[in-house]
Structure 1
Amino acid sequence: MSLQLLCRFEAGNAASWQSAYDEKSEERGNAGLSQLQIWTGADTGSAIWVLFAVNDRGKAQKWLDGPARLSDGQIAEAHFLKTA
């Protein structure tokens, strides 16, 4: 069974969000997260979804509670998912 994390960010500007997101790659790695996919909303560029593979749920939760917050964009939703 694999565990994944789906996060929806609300970003005012997708380009500056990407820059802030990229700067946090080491923190995500330390939290046991590996990026699998990024999507933007088809109708609005302000919603960005990111899917991660999760190695350690506890570390991932700590990341959600702190460093996941980016300077340009907050997590609006986060869901841990497992394959069925």
Structure 2
Amino acid sequence: MRDINAMNGLKAALSFVLSAISVATFAAAGLVAWPQAAVLMAAATVGGYVGAPVARALPAVAVKLIVIVLGMTMSAVFWRAFA
């Protein structure tokens, strides 16, 4: 697969499936803080609807750079938080 938009769509679909499984598992165990979860769900929904058109409008190289920079930044934050 070489189309960045198709890969982004596949990533979004897989992310949805994994998130749904996670929510179901944690909800069944009674471990969900629902007020905070509602904020996260709303933000994720808005991000999904806003992010897709923005990603399609940007050149593929820009999307790849954004993904790399965000991934490295998140990795560094988590590394520092748990190291």
Q: What's the TM-score once normalised by structure 2's chain length?
A: 0.30
Structure holding more helix per residue: 2
Higher strand share: 1
